[in-house]
Amino acid sequence: MSFRFNKGAFEDNSFNEQIREALTNALNSKTQSSSQAVPANTTNSAATDEVKQETRGPKRLDILKSGISVSRVNFPSTPQLEILDLDVSAQSRSLLKGICKVSCKNAMLEINTEIEANLLLLYTNDGPSFTTPRLISNDSFTVPITMTFNQIELEAITNIFVKNNSVGISFNDVNLDFDFDCSIKLLQSSIEKRLKGSMETVFKEVLPSVIFSMSQRWFTHGESTSNSTSDDKSAGKQIESHSHTPRTILEDCDLEDLSPANMLRLSTLVSSRQSLSLNPTAMNTLSTIPGCLERQNLHRFNSRIPALSNFYPNFYEAESPHLKAFGRSVSTNVIGAGKQEHHNTLPQRVLEERTYDLKTIASVQSRIFERSSGDSTAARRRKIKMGKKSKSNKTQSQDIEKPGSTVALPTSPSLETLAVSTPEVLHSPQPTTAVQSPELLAGNSESDSIPTLVLPAQADHYTLPVKPSAPKLNLLEEAHYLNRKREFQKLRTSLYSPIRSSRFNSNKEMERPILEHKGLSFVGLTHGLNWGSEDLPPPYRG
């Protein structure tokens, strides 16, 4: 979530003018309901001239005989807003919750109005004429009064709730200090006392309700966010600039207003949660966010787990047509690795072609042992007698699969292994069975087709083909990702086509794929649409 102040609005005088007009309108609309929001006169002299023309207004029990005009406003420094806490995923009723500290220094405010001198006239005019005795020569005059607030210093801790169509603010800890100066010295002390007494209601009731109604008006009327200058709720406004419709969709300008770096980060976070984005966002890194593993990087994580199969990925590639017979895609053995453990087995082709390396196998197994052995079981060494044809080095892997699971495994009928160290022997229909990994076990029953292990001396010829898998896999994933993105695009336009069917057309998407992707993520986030669960990616289908 990101928002920023438009500093320019504070630096030039237009901010002060805006405040002056807004204050004048607000003060006058409060005093009379039939205010027509005519901009007030700027000078006090003009006001008094008009008072001379027409003093006796309608009868109302109002000591003010004229409207309130704010003559001078001066905010020399930008009001500061410090975000102490921001909770995006707040309660269900509010989209955003934050705690802010607002501070404002050295401000000045001057208010002009005119008050009725004869209070009794007001009361007698207000009362019913039947019971009110008539007073002779009970006329009056108006007194212009100027109130100046100097050195206003405000510091407040506020709670901000951004709801669906409004902004709620509650002031918790308000420190307000100002110098008060009134043109009628007789009234200064009493006015000051009353002002200080009513400050609590101002901050507890008046200001929150005013801000609430104002934000409601903004949201429902959908004003452009270009003039969002002083408010700390610009973020909320940008989230929901259109509340005529219950759903909120970001405009392009909204996205431009947001910080691109934050949006990118957010979108990657969200897309990783959706398990839709199969596009690795950064190459050769396990996770962009430290400490958490993203799903699309799981295969990379798995590829670094020491296992025999990781050292010979080429041979698995070669077996892909065989896998496709089961209706699986090429990338299944990588993508689907989230559910499928890497098996500590050598591919059959390795054995057939005798391209394995005993040293590598030994190091792999010892690494597996080192990683997994938290318990103090000593590694049992098994002596392998060389030269015996019937003996072969069996590669064992740990079988954690359920017996009925149909996880694609490289079928290696040549390898017949026995689980030795596990207390119960699992006989799966697959010819591979896993053995507690650290052990190097020799299979009891061996088939004839298994070639004998090559001695370590021969292993020098073979290079370890560890890395070349990644770019190739990425290419494959790209193709799938593009396919799927088109599907999503179709789905989304069908959902939102009445509103903005033109927004998600394809050429635009091609222009700015990242932003589009981001927008998609936000739509999903704000409405809780679980794309991933509704629309399974193809590897999981069937």
Partner 1 sequence: MIDYMEHVLRSFEQCTGWDRDNSYENVTATSENLLNFRVPSGVKFQVSNKSTPNTFTTFELSNNKVINGSLAYLYTNCQGLENYVSTSRDILLQEASETYRQIRPLYPGHSLRNPGKAKGFEPSSLWYGRMYYPTSTLEAMLVSRSSAQTQFVAKCISSLANASVLTLYWQKDSGQNCQEWIASTNEGLLGYRILHNFVGSQSKLNTSLYNDSSLSVGGELWFGVLNTTPACSTTLRYCTHSANTGKPLTLTLSWNPLFGHVSSTYSVKTSSGATFSSKYDFNLYSIESNLSFGCDLWRRGNIKQSSPHGVKPPSGSNTNFPVSSKEENQRQPGSKEDSPMFYHLMAGSTSSQKLIEDLNVTFASSLQKLTKEKSTIQRFENSLIDANFASVWKFSTSLRHKNLRILWEGKYKGFLISAGAEFTGAPLELPSNLAGESKTPALLRPGKLGIQLQYST
Residue of 2, 16, 18, 32 interacting with partner 1 (CB under 8 A): 32
Residue of 1, 20, 27, 28 interacting with partner 1 (CB under 8 A): 28
Smallest CA-to-CA distance from 368 within 300, 439, 459, 297 is with: 439
Q: What is the DSSP letter of 86?
A: E
Please say whether the beta carbons of 453 and 393 come within 8 A.
yes
46 binds partner 1 (CB under 8 A): yes
**Window of 12-20, 125-133, 269-277, 445-453 that interacts with partner 1 by CB under 8 A:** 125-133
The Cβ-side half-sphere exposure at 475, using a 13 Å CA radius, reads: 4
**Window of 58-66, 353-361, 432-440, 475-483 that interacts with partner 1 by CB under 8 A:** 58-66
Task: Give the pairing type, strands 167-182 and 94-116.
Answer: unpaired
69 binds partner 1 (CB under 8 A): yes
Smallest CA-to-CA distance from 157 within 231, 99, 79, 204 is with: 99
- 276-279 contacts, C-beta under 8 A, 24 or more apart: 276/484, 276/488, 276/531, 276/532, 276/537, 277/481, 277/517, 278/335, 278/477, 278/480, 278/481, 278/484, 278/537, 279/477, 279/478, 279/481
> C-beta of 124: minimal distance to partner 1 in Å?
8
61 binds partner 1 (CB under 8 A): no
- Sequence-separated (6 or more) residues with CB below 8 Å from residue 81: 5, 100, 101, 102, 103, 232
**Window of 128-136, 186-194, 245-253, 350-358 that interacts with partner 1 by CB under 8 A:** 128-136
Count of residues in contact with partner 1, rule CB under 8 A? 49
Q: Which is nearer to partner 1, 56 or 196 (CB)?
A: 56
Residue of 119, 425, 426, 482 interacting with partner 1 (CB under 8 A): 119
Smallest CA-to-CA distance from 208 within 177, 238, 227, 233 is with: 233
Instruction: Round to whole Å and give the CA distance between 520 and 34.
Output: 47
71 binds partner 1 (CB under 8 A): no
185 binds partner 1 (CB under 8 A): no
137 binds partner 1 (CB under 8 A): yes
Instruction: Round to whole Å and give the CA distance between 105 and 152.
Output: 6
Residue where the block lists tokens 């009064």: 145
> C-beta of 197: minimal distance to partner 1 in Å?
18
Tokens for 435, please give them.
């053995």
127 binds partner 1 (CB under 8 A): yes
Smallest CA-to-CA distance from 488 within 516, 511, 465, 464 is with: 516
Residue where the block lists tokens 């500061």: 80
257 binds partner 1 (CB under 8 A): no
Residue of 30, 38, 425, 513 interacting with partner 1 (CB under 8 A): 38
> C-beta of 68: minimal distance to partner 1 in Å?
9
Residue of 2, 16, 18, 35 interacting with partner 1 (CB under 8 A): 35
Q: Which is nearer to partner 1, 38 or 499 (CB)?
A: 38
140 binds partner 1 (CB under 8 A): yes
The site for partner 1 (CB under 8 A) is made up of: 28, 31-32, 34-36, 38, 40-41, 46-47, 50-58, 64-67, 69, 114, 117-121, 123-124, 127-128, 130-143
